[in-house]
Amino acid sequence: MLLMGGSRRLLIVLLAGLLFSVGGAAVIKRNEKFVENPMLTAAAVVTTTSTTVAAPPTTLAAPAPRPAKPVKNPGSYAAEPVVEIGTIEIPKIGLMSRIMHGITMRNIDHGPSHWPGTAFPGENGNAVFAGHRVTKTRPFNRLDELQVGDLVIFRIQGQKSTYAMTGSEIVTPDALRIINPTQNATATLFACHPKGSAKQRIVAYFSLVDTVAE
């Protein structure tokens, strides 16, 4: 009799656990949504739950030492310090925004974000920044309006670096060549394309014109 009573209680517990698991999965499924992800990956879009919240940025900080090469994207909302490093200005499209330092949405959600392992503005090499077009602060919403000669201005730690646009193109999400190092001081800005889609990436290329201390 004791064995029969114990078996009955075990069966009730197992059934309750199964019902809880099914119900929890249904709630998670209802909360899923698409997230604009400008970072270059093999996947066109990623999903996350509505409970994901980007941490507030830290106070303005000096950029961390640059790795030897561009780091790999660990995932849209993978653990990453949220760090603000300066500002970006594009007069042609009326953009004035803070810039972050990081490869995940934790930073990109706050503004255009510098890809770790690429050059910093004002240095020799390719300074790469990713930004949103239609979500969050939408800093690169009008990136397609830029033309050769238009300026982008970075201010980081008391240094003003001005670049002029040299060209643009539309690429697939796996076109990692756009983050390759360059011998001269260049900058690359990119975002999802077309607006409201992550099917492609719009890329704008720039060359350093001047850098001065402020």
Residue 69's pLDDT band, with cuts at 50, 70 and 90, is confident
Q: How does residue 92 score in pLDDT terms, banded at 50, 70 and 90?
A: very high
Report the pLDDT averaged over residues 23-49: 45
What's residue 63's pLDDT? Answer: 58
Structure tokens at 193: 């394309």
Can you give the pLDDT at residue 11? Answer: 43
**Looking up tokens 């975002």, which residue turns up?**
191
Q: What is the mean pLDDT of residues 5-15?
A: 45
Residue 192: strand, helix, or coil: strand
Q: What is the pLDDT of residue 36?
A: 82
Instruction: Assess whether pLDDT exceeds 70 at residue 18.
Output: no
Of 97, 181, 160, 167, nearest to 133 by C-alpha is: 97
* Residue 41 or residue 28, greater confidence: 41
Predicted structure pTM score = 0.74
Homologous superfamily of the 36-213 domain (CATH): Sortase (2.40.260.10)
What confidence tens digit (pLDDT) does each residue in 153-171 have? 999 999 999 999 999 999 9
pLDDT digits (tens, 9 = 90+) for 70-84: 888 887 888 899 999
- What's the pLDDT band for 46 if we cut at 50, 70, 90? very low
Q: What is the DSSP string of 102-170?
A: -SSHHHHTTS-EE-TTSPPTTSSEEEEEE--SSSTT-TTTTGGG--TT-EEEEEETTEEEEEEEEEEEE
Across the chain, mean pLDDT equals: 80
Per-residue confidence (pLDDT) for residue 72, from 0 to 100:
85
| Residues linked to residue 208 through DSSP beta bridges, in sequence order | 163
Give percent of the chain with pLDDT exceeding 70: 71
- 9-18, 143-152, 200-209: range with lowest mean pLDDT: 9-18
pLDDT, tens digit (0-9, with 9 covering 90-100), for 117-150: 999 999 999 999 999 999 998 999 999 999 999 9
Burial class (CB in 10 A: 0-12, 13-18, 19+), 123: middle
- Over residues 179-195, the pLDDT tens digits come to 999 999 999 999 999 99
